[in-house]
Structure 1
């Protein structure tokens, strides 16, 4: 029997504190005071009879019991969100809320969405681009229906299902006419003389990049800028003699148009799986299934 003392505010507060790893940050997001968040979590811990959080530095971390409860709490909130979305839609279809990494947004989504719109599902559509961990958190909370991007590390895939679509690798891109392109023999160490745009720490491709750089004898660069913004990266590398370390899908159009070129660096070891991530315990609706089909059609057209 469900304990009637567990309220929606308990679940929402617990999930936000777990997501932010901070009581203070959770309070900011929920627009309540920090003592109110602490009180709500204490109430939930008393009801469940277990400790859900432990202090870690200036923040908190979820305990083993908390990790188990987080999976089910997230599913409950997701179900409530779906119920709300199903009301007052008139004749429109179910909503389609997609999270996509920048590489997918630039390379796959435009054509896939054009094909999807031809199906006349009348479904409201939302496409969100962001970092992988942020998108996966939103997926767990039911804010998104699916996420399209690289396969996350196993510890971040609890309660989620990954369906493979294609593979892609990281590239080293520069503007047309970059000095490094004129060298008779490319020297990897010469990258240290230029500004290098890097995927930020915590991003899904950063471990691939770090391992590759170490294999080349480079742990870091003297002048590096970490960014997840494809618009900033594109503008900066086109205007300056910088080097952009980025997934190939993000720069696919610039390469085809000749605005960017690739340095002769063999990055085959950075190849990783790209696919669809969904919640294991939540069935998809017809509109999401149609979008999945158009994504596969687009990938087939591109020959990926």
Structure 2
């Protein structure tokens, strides 16, 4: 039996998530289809790649070895496709960077300028989205680099992380919001207002949920879930909603007086932000130059603004 791309991509997703169910959800296929594809690949290779582990699964020694080669192969295949698609244009392929909204707003503009100053012919493709989606694209070779929060250990299989800075979650409102006039501030009053929350798949949502539960607010008032910073800005400025968001996304708005921070100590929500790459990825000169530019664009103690 010939090994096909779907065999490799399915296996890599199972290896990344260590779960047939999660891989099926990401690939938008049924669990039996994932299991069947893995069995076909094992039959073609003559080796078991996964094995039961309690109520879940884990990679066998052969599976770990094959994952390393399969990841390299998929990345090389994507690079080859990019090279051919350039055709007669003779252009270097763009560096593909995934960035969380907080990074897109605070870090990438400075980093892009620094990079293009040193490499005038350089090309960048910057994709903004949720951390889980960006890491999936990175593992599949669709991105060269992700700049975002450190993900959970199970999502970091086959990936490396370099810490750049830390940032926390903030509760922000429009200037003149009723909650700003209350002294002392009463966190329980939040339940009277619509709360704009990060989505369940966002990397900061667990930090937010733990914070609310720890402070006796497991169920706030009306909720809207979104990772759109443009929607968040527009909605909060035109209403009495409370926006729970990473500080880097709104630091410029706060500094300009367009948004205000509620006096809530959220230091316990601080999390690491940094560079995530495939562990087996090479670092050609353009990528190394971009990484250097990103490091330089990060303040030594994290993004400026309210703490």
The aligned residue for residue 220 of structure 2 is 221
TM-score (norm 2): 0.83
The aligned residue for residue 212 of structure 1 is 211
The aligned residue for residue 147 of structure 2 is 148
The aligned residue for residue 48 of structure 2 is 50
The aligned residue for residue 232 of structure 2 is 233
Distance 1:211 1:71 in 2: 35
Structure 1: any 5+ residue segments left out of the alignment?
55-60
Question: In 2 relative to 1, CA 255–243 (structure 1 residues): closer, same or farther, beyond 3 Å?
Answer: same
Distance 1:8 1:184 in 2: 61
Give CA deviations for 1:214-241 in whole Å, capped at 9, x if unaligned: 2211112131112111111111111110
The alignment covers a number of residue pairs equal to 292
The aligned residue for residue 59 of structure 2 is 64
Distance 2:179 2:31 in 1: 53
1:78 is paired with a residue whose SS is helix
1:114 is paired with a residue whose SS is helix
Distance 1:216 1:26 in 2: 37
The aligned residue for residue 58 of structure 1 is none
Q: Is 1:99 equivalent to 2:98 in the alignment? A: yes
The aligned residue for residue 76 of structure 1 is 73
Q: Is the 8 A contact 1:145 1:284 kept in 2?
A: no
Q: Map residues 149-188 of structure 1 onto 2, 5 A cutoff.
A: 149-188=148-187
The structural deviation recorded for 1:123 is 3.0
The structural deviation recorded for 1:121 is 4.6
2:135 is paired with a residue whose SS is helix
Q: Is the 8 A contact 2:165 2:300 kept in 1?
A: no
The aligned residue for residue 5 of structure 2 is 8
2:118 is paired with a residue whose SS is coil
Q: Is the 8 A contact 1:178 1:241 kept in 2?
A: yes
Moved more, 211-220 or 233-242: 211-220
Distance 1:118 1:173 in 2: 35
Q: Is the 8 A contact 1:121 1:287 kept in 2?
A: no
1:209 is paired with a residue whose SS is helix
The aligned residue for residue 129 of structure 2 is 130
TM-score (norm 1): 0.84
The structural deviation recorded for 1:25 is 7.2
Distance 1:281 1:99 in 2: 18
Q: Is the 8 A contact 2:190 2:221 kept in 1?
A: no
Give CA deviations for 1:164-191 in whole Å, capped at 9, x if unaligned: 1111110000001100001121100000
Distance 1:133 1:118 in 2: 31
Distance 2:293 2:49 in 1: 45
Moved more, 105-114 or 37-46: 37-46
Question: In 2 relative to 1, CA 172–86 (structure 1 residues): closer, same or farther, beyond 3 Å?
Answer: same
The aligned residue for residue 139 of structure 1 is 138
